[in-house]
Amino acid sequence: MYEFQSQIGFPILTLLTFLPAVGGLAILFMRGKPRLYKSLTLAVTGVNFILSLVLIFYFDRYSADMQFVEKVPWISSLGISYHMAVDGISVLLIMLTSLLSLIIVPASWNYIKDREMQFFAAFLFLETGMIGVFCARDLFLFYVFWEIMLIPMYFIIGVWGGPRRIYAAIKFFLFTFAGSLLMLIAIVAIAYLARANQYATPVFDMDLLEKATFSYSVQIFAFLAFFIAFAVKVPMWPLHTWLPDAHVEAPTAGSVILAGVMLKVGGYGMLRLCIPLFPDAVVAIAPYILVLSLIAIVYGALVSLVQKDLKKLVAYSSVSHMGFVTAGIFALNVIGIEGGIMVMFSHGLLTGALFLMVGFMYERLHTREIADMGGLAGPFPVMAGFLLFFTLASLGLPGLSGFVGEFLSLVGLFTYNKAMAAVASIGIILAAAYLLWMFQRVMFTNLRDDKWYKFPDFSLREMASLLPLGFLAIWAGVYPNTFLQLIQPSATRITEKMAPYLAEHGGAIERLFASLGGLF
């Protein structure tokens, strides 16, 4: 039962996961020493980022196996173990998480003025939850981390958010908690069903569950339960309504993490659990999910088009972009899955950067209304440059990360069904429309207020938070292979597992139309 196979000789995953929580606990005892605990937060997130780089460096990118395995019995009589391991997808997302976490700290340095100690502590606990989700290989452990993510974010929105923060926090909590409870019951159900077949205790270990088989009706039920929990997080239309509220009310750091990482755990969960565990159900339900994804892409883009609030615009654009993630994943081919993951990664960089910028702009102008801005390029040339860069990257300009992901995702979808790919590409056109129009209204047109010339342009600290994101966006755009190499073996493994089921059931889109035909 005890198992430890790490390329580096120390339990790096445990360290990555729990270092932030330990730091968070330590901070709680540093009342009245703001410089000390802020520096500690920076140090902890910095060390964690370095650890994530070490992880990538030692990660064997040609293997689809789970690596850095740590397995210790936990609640043995219930079949629960502390089982951590990562594949390329997890590694990439862990790196993204620790990078965004590091960037948030300087961005919140002066922005958070009230109860700072608790803010930084909550923030570190959040990082533990997020990294834990990406490492867990035991369903129970996965669920624990999944919920640990929820609580600090609830506090971050509810305590440090905007005027309607309480409403937004409750909505966020209840939406995700409802999804989680569904998932919990599905977890319990499959764990006990798997036991009934082969084992003495319930089975929570994902390695074993991937080998177990479930009846068709169980698969459908469990798949839907998991899927709804993840779809809330993604968020997919029509479960997205918590997102604009949460994003708009959350403080900058909260929005960045929410968009940069927490939306990703939804897509990650689908890849990690929904598809490998319930292949029959995936084949049956994928077409409907694709339809929902298309709705999300177009709907999110259309709603972004009419937003008056800059932050809300970015929030709704996330709904649209994440539609490409689910569309790519449920196209169920290697390219589509790779595209979905690349969109996740790129969206984490770009939307993280956009939310940071909205935050920086708000600190100066004290407004987020697009109508109140205008002509900002004059007083703030550096800001305009950064915004232009991230806008272009976000709308999918070739050579930047957004393009790679969306392109691959579209190719995957095209392989699956041409009409669907055509609909999805409308989303890209609309993205260009709302983003460029936004940029024009914010940066050009007439200068609204002369006193803005007195405000400073971006400081070094602010640029320092944006530059790494921009750097990675260029890297991923120019030489995406670095990242695709990490993803490819895992994506291939997933599709290889799906292949016999797909072959058996034929093209999903034909079946969708066939089943729709049954309605008429």
Partner 1 sequence: MQHQLLAIMPELMLIATAVVILLVDPLLPVDGRRGLSWLGIAASLTAAYATWISRGEEFTAFSHGIALDKYSVFFKILLLIVAAMAMLLSEKHLFLKKRLLGDYYGLVLFTTVGMMIMVEAIDLITFFVGLELMALTVYLLAGFFRYEERSIEAALKYFLGGAFASNFLLFGMAILYGLSGSTNYQEISDAVRLGPAPAGPLAIAVILILAGFAFKISAVPFHNWAPDVYQGSPTPAAAFLSVGPKIAGFAAILKFFTLILGSQSGTWVPMMIALSLATMLVGATMALLQKDLKRMLAFSSIGHVGYLLLAVVATGHTGRNLGMAAILFYLAAYAFMNMGAFGVLVFMANRRPGFRDTLDDMAGLARRYPWAAAIMSLFMLSLTGVPPTAGFLAKFYLFSAVVDSGFAWLAVIGALFSLVSAFFYLRVIIYMYMREPETELVESEADLEAGKSWDLDLGLAVAAAGVILLGILPAPVVNAAQDAVVKLLGN
Residues 6 or more apart whose Cβ sits within 8 Å of residue 337? 271, 328, 329, 331, 412, 487, 491, 494, 495
Q: Which is nearer to partner 1, 144 or 382 (CB)?
A: 144
174: how many CB neighbours lie within 10 A of its CB?
A: 11
CA-wise closest residue to 156 among 186, 129, 182: 129
Site for partner 1 in 45-84 (CB under 8 A): 74-78
Among 36, 50, 174, 516, binds partner 1 (CB under 8 A): 174
Minimum Å gap between C-beta 77 and partner 1 is 6
125 lines the binding site for partner 1 (CB under 8 A): no
Cα(234)–Cα(399) distance, integer angstroms = 26
409 phi, psi to nearest 5 deg: -60, -40
Among 22, 36, 43, 185, binds partner 1 (CB under 8 A): 185
- Angle of helix 34-58 relative to helix 116-135, nearest 10 degrees, comes to 10
Minimum Å gap between C-beta 118 and partner 1 is 8
Cα(358)–Cα(355) distance, integer angstroms = 5
Site string for partner 1, 194-233 (x = CB under 8 A): --------x-------------------------------
Among 26, 56, 66, 159, binds partner 1 (CB under 8 A): 159
Among 94, 182, 332, 476, binds partner 1 (CB under 8 A): 182
Cα(481)–Cα(488) distance, integer angstroms = 10
Minimum Å gap between C-beta 28 and partner 1 is 8
Q: Which value, to the nearest 10 degrees, does the dihedral of the CA atoms of residues 247, 249, 251, 256 take?
A: 0
Residue 367, helix vs strand vs coil: coil
Q: Are 30 and 36 in contact (CB under 8 A)?
A: yes
Sheet strand arrangement including 67-75: 3-5, 67-75, 80-86
Query: Would you put residue 374 in left (φ > 0), alpha (ψ -120 to 50) or beta?
Result: left
191 lines the binding site for partner 1 (CB under 8 A): yes
Among 178, 228, 382, 474, binds partner 1 (CB under 8 A): 178
Among 50, 164, 192, 500, binds partner 1 (CB under 8 A): 192
Among 143, 214, 386, 390, binds partner 1 (CB under 8 A): 143
The window from 94-102, 189-197, 298-306, 354-362 that contacts partner 1 (CB under 8 A) reads 189-197
188 lines the binding site for partner 1 (CB under 8 A): yes
Cα(282)–Cα(331) distance, integer angstroms = 10
> What would the two tokens of residue 507 be?
């093209």
CA-wise closest residue to 464 among 39, 104, 110: 104
DSSP secondary structure code for residue 451 in this structure = G
Minimum Å gap between C-beta 178 and partner 1 is 5
Q: Which is nearer to partner 1, 173 or 316 (CB)?
A: 173
Minimum Å gap between C-beta 31 and partner 1 is 8
Minimum Å gap between C-beta 147 and partner 1 is 5
Among 25, 36, 43, 181, binds partner 1 (CB under 8 A): 181
Minimum Å gap between C-beta 207 and partner 1 is 20
The window from 149-157, 311-319, 359-367, 479-487 that contacts partner 1 (CB under 8 A) reads 149-157
Residue 138, helix vs strand vs coil: strand
Among 56, 58, 61, 147, binds partner 1 (CB under 8 A): 147
Cα(286)–Cα(512) distance, integer angstroms = 9
437 phi, psi to nearest 5 deg: -60, -40
Cα(104)–Cα(152) distance, integer angstroms = 15
150 lines the binding site for partner 1 (CB under 8 A): yes
Q: Which is nearer to partner 1, 158 or 412 (CB)?
A: 158
189 lines the binding site for partner 1 (CB under 8 A): yes
Cα(248)–Cα(368) distance, integer angstroms = 10
Among 112, 169, 296, 423, binds partner 1 (CB under 8 A): 169
Q: Which is nearer to partner 1, 80 or 413 (CB)?
A: 80
Minimum Å gap between C-beta 85 and partner 1 is 20
Q: Which is nearer to partner 1, 66 or 184 (CB)?
A: 184
Site string for partner 1, 88-117 (x = CB under 8 A): ---------------------------x--
ω into 238 cis (within 30 of 0): yes
The window from 148-156, 230-238, 399-407, 414-422 that contacts partner 1 (CB under 8 A) reads 148-156
Cα(135)–Cα(137) distance, integer angstroms = 6
ω into 235 cis (within 30 of 0): yes
277 lines the binding site for partner 1 (CB under 8 A): no
Minimum Å gap between C-beta 192 and partner 1 is 5
| End-to-end Cα, the chain, rounded Å | 55
Q: Are 86 and 55 in contact (CB under 8 A)?
A: yes
165 lines the binding site for partner 1 (CB under 8 A): yes
Q: Which is nearer to partner 1, 235 or 340 (CB)?
A: 235
CA atoms lying within 13 Å on the CB side of residue 135: 28
Residues of this chain that interact with partner 1 (CB under 8 A) are 74-78, 115, 118, 140, 143-144, 147-148, 150-151, 154-155, 158-159, 165-166, 169-170, 173-174, 177-178, 181-182, 184-185, 188-189, 191-192, 202
